[in-house]
Amino acid sequence: MPTLKIIPPPVASADELMVMAHAMEKEAARRYRELAARMRLRDDPDLARLFAFLASIEEKHAVQVAERAADRLGAKIEPARVAWEVPENFDEEEGSSRLLTRYRALAVAVRNEERAFAFFSYVAASASDARIRALAEELAKDELAHAGLLRRERRLAWRDAHGLRAPAAELPQTMAELWRLVAETEWHAARHHRALAAKLPSGAAADALLSAAEEEAVHARDAAARIGVELDEAPETEEPALDDALRLLELAFERYADIAERTRDETVLRHAQLLEDAAVRRLSLVRGSLGNALFESAAPPQGA
Q: How far apart are CA 16 and CA 81, in angstroms?
A: 8
Among 175, 37, 121, CA closest to 290: 121
Residue 145: its pLDDT value, please?
84
What's the angle, vertex CA 286, arms to CA 280 and CA 287, rounded to 5? 85
Name the amino acid, one letter, at 188.
Answer: H
Q: What is the DSSP string of 69-84?
A: HHHHHS----GGG--S
pLDDT, the chain, mean? 81
Q: How far apart are CA 283 and CA 147, in angstroms?
A: 14
Domains 14-161 and 175-293 share a fold: yes
Residue 124: its pLDDT value, please?
87
* 258-273 confidence digits (pLDDT tens): 898 889 999 999 999 9
- The yes-or-no verdict on residue 226 having pLDDT over 90 is yes
Alpha-carbon separation of residue 289 from 5, 161, 198, 205, 210 (angstroms): 16, 37, 16, 5, 12
For the chain, the structural domain boundaries read 14-161, 175-293
Quick count: other Cβ atoms within 10 Å of Cβ 232?
10
* 155-184 confidence digits (pLDDT tens): 777 777 766 555 557 899 999 999 999 999
Fold of 175-293: Ferritin (1.20.1260)
Among 248, 276, 249, CA closest to 261: 276
Longest CA pairwise span in the chain (Å)? 62
Fold of 14-161: Ferritin (1.20.1260)
Give the three-state DSSP class for 240: coil
Residues 58-70 have a mean pLDDT of 89
Q: What percent of the chain has pLDDT over 90?
A: 27
- The yes-or-no verdict on residue 13 having pLDDT over 50 is yes
Predicted confidence band of residue 219 (pLDDT cuts 50, 70, 90) = very high
- The yes-or-no verdict on residue 210 having pLDDT over 90 is yes
Chain-centroid distance, C-alpha 147: 6
Alpha-carbon separation of residue 55 from 18, 101, 265 (angstroms): 20, 17, 35
Residue 156: its pLDDT value, please?
76
* 123-141 confidence digits (pLDDT tens): 888 888 888 988 998 898 8
Among 158, 189, 182, CA closest to 268: 182
**What's the number of CA atoms in the CB half-sphere (13 Å) around residue 235?**
6
* 85-117 confidence digits (pLDDT tens): 445 555 555 555 556 777 777 877 888 888 888
Residue 214: its pLDDT value, please?
96
Residue scoring higher pLDDT (228 or 28): 228
**Angle of the 266-288 helix axis to the 204-227 helix axis, nearest 10:** 160
Q: How far apart are CA 105 and CA 54, in angstroms?
A: 10
